[in-house]
Structure 1
Amino acid sequence: MTCSEKMGSFYSGITCQDIPPHVMKKARLTLFDFLCVLRLGAKYTVINPIIKRYLVSLEHPEKYTVLGLKMKSSLEHAVLGMSVVSHGVELDDGHLSSATHPAVAVIPAALAMAEKCHSNLRDLLVSIVVGYDCMIRFAKAINPKHLSLGFHSTSTCGTLGAACAAGWLLGLDSEQLSHALGIAALQSAGLQEMLHENASIKPFQVGKSSSAGIIAAELAALGSKSPSKVFEGQYGWFNAMSNNDYRETDLWDRLGKHWMIMDTYVKLYPSCRYAHAAIDSALELYDEGYRMSNVKNVKLYLFQQGINEVGVFKVPSQYEDALFSVAYSIAIAFQYGKVRIEEIASNLQNTRILEFADNIDIISDKQMTDSFPREAGSRIIFEDDNGNIVVRENKRARADFDTPLTDEEYLLKAAQILENVVHRKYIDVLWEKVVLSDQKMDVKEIIELMNEMGA
């Protein structure tokens, strides 16, 4: 069997009984976190007005809900819109060694298809689990080579996860899902260059990826086929995406026994994950009494890939660039003792914060670089106002896969990021429906609640 045939055979055969309870619980928490981030993105994602004008201009049948844009559109464009909205605030979950953010590619496709198929919560959760698993396995297999070639893994591999999730909900058989994955692979695209200029377009890459996945599933359902060796062929996906520098073992390791959604992290700050260990350190130091006023000669040691992504905009001139500035986030942390979207957005003209960020010396650390992507740590060294040298190192950020948030911490994150967006009662009701309710609940109840929340 070819790679696509093996994957199609495995994922099409998954039933609800195959997913252990603890994995279903993680899927519930993941969905809750995604919906809260999407609601925040409805207010703060920069490109929202442009995407909405684009969708309105298409004059498609308005059948499916575009959460975050307060409108309806065609199936594939509903997916595009929800993905863009949710990815624009850099608070979505992720998987470190695959360099992906699965939620913003997989869940919009799953939600839209669940609305179309009148699915219940249980089936939506299973589709999320299989979509995550497929996406992460492919991305993990081709990284870090894929990343070094300039590709954006969430976009290139999100098509596969979205196609798998949507295809499972459609009830595609083994052959159909195999072709859906192949059609998705043919549409893989996404470049990291957008991190270096006009980063507001970044969510569009992921939105297009998620939309392409759902199109792939629908084409396969109608009988469309793809090359049988679309992945491993001479001119196939593995060669194009990694120069054939990939590990096939990552595709099959513990397949069906370990679900990759269990290895995802949660973001606590609106910033690229590669900045989070440093932000953790700065917030710890703030709690110990350190402020911008008594901190000087700051040196930040990072792994090289982290510098490539969060060390470019030391002094951001616009909001979307600030989400990729570790220096700016550290300055915010030392000033306020918290790093939320409100602080990120409101201090772009704050000369004191910008000067502090500009004076941070960002240095590539070989040991950290060699440890990436197993770890994505940082080391902060500075001099206090008494001349003492202070060192703080974190090898990994909080809320990683093996230090997961508790239920209470998920709720706390939601309350903090949505404090100035929705009333707390809505968060509690959303928690009740997504995390605690009967799995037979119709997904439309979640969509209706999100509409009530202003999404």
Structure 2
Amino acid sequence: MTMTISERIGEFVSQIAYDDLPKSVVKVAKRCILDWLGAGYRGSKAEASSWVLDLLRGGNGKEASFLTYPPSKGNFLFTAFSNAFFSHILEIDDVHRGSIFHPASPVISAAFSQAESLGASGKELITSVVLGYEVSIRVAECLGLSHYKYWHPTATAGVFGSAVAGAKLLKLDPKKVAFALGNAGTSASGLWQFNLDGAMTKPLHPAKAAMEGLISANLAYRGFSGALRIFEGEKGICNAMARDGFDLEKLLYGLGSHWKTEEVSLKPYPCCRHIHPSIDAAKEVHRASKLKPQEIASVKVYTYRVGMETAHFKVPTSLEEARFSISYCVALALKFGDVNLDLFSPSLLRDEEILSLIDKTEVLEDDVYTKNHPQKWGAKVEVLSRDGGVWSSETWFPLGDPEKPMSDREVEDKFKGLVKPVLPEDYLSELIGRVWSIEEMENIRSFFEE
């Protein structure tokens, strides 16, 4: 009898061990974990994160750690939900370019919570993270742009990654991994309407994906069955959520030989990744021209259609809208030469120079950039000065892409910058060391100990 896609994925997941992972993949996974920690700890201080903690603290059952300081624990399903929420709320978590998907917030959050609840080793944690990345990235690639038009892959593909991470840590056999995938698929959800309405919904997507994936894995552990044809079935996720075009071959192609984890990008700026190419170009114009905002006559930003449609707010009225505003982020880069968390403040939303730059900015689609997306994320910024000078810069690979990677030192500096307001210096440094040597930990429960 022919195996289903889920059963073939289940066979792969159950057979791969830590020693099967290339050292380069393990290194990328560690970088992603450190990046996730920084995003999560800093995100735990967002106002909406306090609401989540109030809701979920104090559950019963197996415990794991919240990304809070002082350290606190709760039910492992609730910590997965909360930590995924924290690590996504500031738009500073990693992204896979080809699938337009943020894997860390759902996958690593689920993996850490499941691993801590079981007392798993560091090697087991790393393996579960990598397998969660490998499967969920492929799901997002399979679903493609027709899915992305309405559905948020960080939610819909993310739930498969968290299910795989949980399943691996629970040591499920191939059939039970397939059950976990089936029930993860029936939980897949996350619509883009929040983006049109400027709502706060987005971090709920990876939060629910992390928790629902673990629920699916833990039910499968107990023998609870799930649809075995959740991908290829006539009423499965592909036919339901990507009717204009999907590619089932992408789910299995290169499993165990081509490591998608190595394609993941890290984000230097706390805003939608679609804006990052424009920020890099605007920063270069700022560096080269030394123009002050009042010396700028006009700004033109050329980019790809999906980026324009997603980061579409012209004049943002909230921080949520600002993180999805090409014009606002380009204005920040042209005024300050950088885009960082401190610049996402209510006062700057009303800053006269920023508003003037936004008014002078036109965002335009370039067919060449659209044609090359999502394999390349390109943008060009052209600035006309009041004295007639023209300044321009173009990028195809924003900082943090594998083609233009952040160094380990830059990843550490990003982490330190994010968590300094949250963690004491000695604990901060200790966590960095623990990430780089995480495979040596016999029990991951010691990871968050002071």
* TM-score (ref. length: structure 1): 0.93
Q: What SS does the corresponding residue of 1:268 show, helix, strand or coil?
A: coil
Counterpart amino acid of residue 297 in structure 2:
K
Q: What SS does the corresponding residue of 2:299 show, helix, strand or coil?
A: strand
> How far has the Cα of 1:398 moved from its partner?
1.1
Which deviations, in whole Å up to 9, do the C-alpha atoms of 1:146-194 show, x marking residues without a partner?
A: 112x110110011100000011001101111111011101110011111
Q: What SS does the corresponding residue of 2:447 show, helix, strand or coil?
A: helix
Counterpart amino acid of residue 37 in structure 2:
L
Show the counterpart of 1:215: 215
Show the counterpart of 2:48: 47
Runs of 4+ in 1 over 6 A off after TM superposition: none
Listed as ranges, the matches of 1:312-351 within 5 Å are 313-345=313-345, 346-351=347-352
Show the counterpart of 1:176: 176
Counterpart amino acid of residue 236 in structure 2:
G
Would you say the 8 A contact 2:59–2:78 is kept in 1? no
Q: What SS does the corresponding residue of 1:230 show, helix, strand or coil?
A: coil
Q: What SS does the corresponding residue of 1:235 show, helix, strand or coil?
A: coil
Q: What SS does the corresponding residue of 2:134 show, helix, strand or coil?
A: helix
> How far has the Cα of 1:226 moved from its partner?
1.3
Would you say the 8 A contact 1:41–1:68 is kept in 2? no
Show the counterpart of 1:431: 432
> How far has the Cα of 1:369 moved from its partner?
1.1
> How far has the Cα of 1:350 moved from its partner?
1.6
Aligned CA distance change for structure 1 residues 421 and 72 (closer, same or farther; 3 Å) = closer
**Distance in 2, Cα, partners of 1:64 & 1:262:** 28
Q: What SS does the corresponding residue of 2:39 show, helix, strand or coil?
A: helix
Show the counterpart of 1:67: 67
**Distance in 1, Cα, partners of 2:418 & 2:385:** 31
Structure 1 gap segments, 5+ residues each: 450-455
**Distance in 2, Cα, partners of 1:141 & 1:158:** 13
> How far has the Cα of 1:385 moved from its partner?
3.2
Aligned CA distance change for structure 1 residues 377 and 344 (closer, same or farther; 3 Å) = same
Q: What SS does the corresponding residue of 2:301 show, helix, strand or coil?
A: strand
Show the counterpart of 1:204: 204
Show the counterpart of 1:308: 309
Listed as ranges, the matches of 1:120-269 within 5 Å are 120-148=121-149, 150-243=150-243, 245-269=245-269
**Distance in 2, Cα, partners of 1:292 & 1:117:** 55
Would you say the 8 A contact 1:47–1:201 is kept in 2? no
Counterpart amino acid of residue 52 in structure 1:
L
Show the counterpart of 1:15: 17
Aligned CA distance change for structure 1 residues 413 and 198 (closer, same or farther; 3 Å) = same
Counterpart amino acid of residue 64 in structure 1:
A
> How far has the Cα of 1:424 moved from its partner?
4.6
Would you say the 8 A contact 1:5–1:174 is kept in 2? yes
Counterpart amino acid of residue 393 in structure 2:
R
Q: What SS does the corresponding residue of 1:143 show, helix, strand or coil?
A: helix
Q: What SS does the corresponding residue of 1:415 show, helix, strand or coil?
A: helix
Farther off after superposition, 411-420 or 128-137:
411-420
Which deviations, in whole Å up to 9, do the C-alpha atoms of 1:404-430 show, x marking residues without a partner?
A: 222112122223334544455443322
Cα RMSD, aligned residues only: 1.8
Counterpart amino acid of residue 435 in structure 2:
V
Show the counterpart of 1:452: none
Would you say the 8 A contact 1:115–1:444 is kept in 2? yes
**Distance in 1, Cα, partners of 2:78 & 2:5:** 29
**Distance in 2, Cα, partners of 1:429 & 1:72:** 19
Show the counterpart of 2:368: 367
Q: What SS does the corresponding residue of 2:374 show, helix, strand or coil?
A: coil
Counterpart amino acid of residue 27 in structure 1:
A
Would you say the 8 A contact 1:98–1:136 is kept in 2? yes
Farther off after superposition, 62-71 or 112-121:
62-71
> How far has the Cα of 1:438 moved from its partner?
5.2
Counterpart amino acid of residue 20 in structure 2:
D
**Distance in 1, Cα, partners of 2:188 & 2:377:** 26
**Distance in 2, Cα, partners of 1:222 & 1:421:** 39
Aligned CA distance change for structure 1 residues 22 and 427 (closer, same or farther; 3 Å) = same
**Distance in 1, Cα, partners of 2:227 & 2:29:** 32
Q: What SS does the corresponding residue of 1:354 show, helix, strand or coil?
A: helix
**Distance in 2, Cα, partners of 1:61 & 1:350:** 49
1:29 aligned to 2:31? Answer: yes
**Distance in 1, Cα, partners of 2:207 & 2:380:** 34
> How far has the Cα of 1:380 moved from its partner?
1.0
Show the counterpart of 2:382: 381
Counterpart amino acid of residue 43 in structure 1:
K
Aligned CA distance change for structure 1 residues 293 and 445 (closer, same or farther; 3 Å) = farther
> How far has the Cα of 1:443 moved from its partner?
1.6
Q: What SS does the corresponding residue of 1:358 show, helix, strand or coil?
A: helix
Q: What SS does the corresponding residue of 1:374 show, helix, strand or coil?
A: coil
> How far has the Cα of 1:23 moved from its partner?
1.0
Listed as ranges, the matches of 1:393-408 within 5 Å are 393-408=394-409
Would you say the 8 A contact 2:277–2:398 is kept in 1? yes
Farther off after superposition, 324-333 or 177-186:
324-333
Would you say the 8 A contact 2:29–2:129 is kept in 1? yes
* TM-score (ref. length: structure 2): 0.94
Show the counterpart of 1:79: 80
Would you say the 8 A contact 1:340–1:417 is kept in 2? no
Aligned CA distance change for structure 1 residues 421 and 162 (closer, same or farther; 3 Å) = same
Q: What SS does the corresponding residue of 2:375 show, helix, strand or coil?
A: coil
Would you say the 8 A contact 1:332–1:344 is kept in 2? no
Show the counterpart of 2:6: 4
